[in-house]
Amino acid sequence: MERRMLGELEVSAIGLGCMSMTQIYGTPDEGEAIATIHRALEHGIDLIDTSDAYGGGQNEELLGRALKDRRDRAVIASKFGNIRLPDGRPGAKGDPEFARQSCEASLKRLGVETIDLYYVHRIDPTVPIEDTVGALADLKREGKIRHIGLSEASPETLKRAHATHPIAALQTEYSLWTRDAEAELLPLCAELGVGYVAYSPLGRGFLTGTITGQDSLEEGDRRRQHPRFAEENIAQNIKLLTTLNDLASKEGCTPAQLALAWVASRGKTIVPLPGTKQRKWLDENVAALSVSPSAETLEALDAAFQPGVAAGTRYPAGQMASLGV
């Protein structure tokens, strides 16, 4: 397994996102989810990503059960601060006391003494990022976390955070159909020596080619609420897959593998973080690391998936407001 650096943290060149292992994108099977985590470790994948926001902490508990006798083989990444406000709207909470409380609760759910990479999941605009990161630096000195990360932060917030304490990784959405990070965030990460973790590198499953319309999604699947999967947009977005499918066939791989290989090709400090709850898809994702697309294929992908090409925003309006703070 190739290794890549997130700041001073060395991890596998591809990670495993665990969000779908609890009730978010359809109905998961816990036994298969745990088997998927174990298979990831067998492949040499050690960056295993969760959050206290996934399933109200149930995702962390599942990961804790999966890693109970395998803790030394995993780099556990978790997050805090992505909350629901009393009226149900998405929000963020990043005050030092809440950061400490959240970390302590996550440690208990995970059943570990230390979280390897602890992210601020969403940036609280009412709390100076220096205060939030300062609290995490205290937790690091106490041995409760090893490295600090930010998720969906603006360039200015990343600069201020990094000046307070070195940030190991920035995590934002990045894929063929979500290329916003290329404008400022990726160059800034390279300048600061911050690693970049690309979540949803398969476009929440869209770039696998297995989603042919809203009927492909279960009734409770959260993607039904996302504009890019809405009836008025999904038909237009499906047209984008023609080029991806053709190029994947030319390269002798699946569309998902080509999409992942494209992300991995964007820089040696970029780590794709595809999420899956099944071993068969995990195996396919790992095989993407062996795909070396030709320069012509990469150019064709860049041309077909130019920034802004997807119809619809990547989150509903309420959640979009909490990004890039």
Q: Measure the N-to-C terminal CA separation of the chain; round to a whole number of Å.
A: 35
**Count H helices, E strands: the chain?**
12, 12
Using the predicted structure, report yes or no on whether residue 69 has a pLDDT greater than 90. yes
Q: What is the pLDDT of residue 300?
A: 96
Using the predicted structure, report yes or no on whether residue 63 has a pLDDT greater than 90. yes
Residue 3's H or E segment, with its range, is strand 3-6
Using the predicted structure, report yes or no on whether residue 279 has a pLDDT greater than 80. yes
Residues involved in catalysis: 54
Using the predicted structure, report yes or no on whether residue 318 has a pLDDT greater than 90. no
Quick one: pLDDT band at residue 88, thresholds 50, 70, 90? confident
Using the predicted structure, report yes or no on whether residue 323 has a pLDDT greater than 90. no
- Determine the average pLDDT of the residues in 68-79: 97
Q: What is the pLDDT of residue 320?
A: 85
Task: Give the SS3 label for residue 16.
Answer: strand
Q: What is the pLDDT of residue 152?
A: 97
215-272 residue pLDDT tens: 888 888 888 889 999 988 998 999 999 999 999 999 999 999 999 999 999 999 999 9
- Determine the average pLDDT of the residues in 107-119: 98
> Using only C-alpha atoms, what is the Rg of the chain?
19
Average pLDDT, the chain: 95
Distance CA 188, CA 165 (A): 16
Residue with the bigger pLDDT between 87 and 261: it is 261
Tally the C-alpha atoms within 13 A of residue 2's C-alpha that lie toward its C-beta: 16
- Determine the average pLDDT of the residues in 96-124: 98
- Determine the average pLDDT of the residues in 73-90: 93
Q: What is the pLDDT of residue 317?
A: 86
- Identify the CA nearest to 149 among candidates 176, 131, 177, 172: 172
Distance CA 196, CA 203 (A): 17
160-208 residue pLDDT tens: 999 999 999 999 999 999 999 999 999 999 999 999 999 999 999 999 9
Non-local (6+) Cβ contacts of 186 within 8 A are 196, 266, 267, 270
- Identify the CA nearest to 264 among candidates 185, 178, 201: 201
Residue 250, amino acid: K
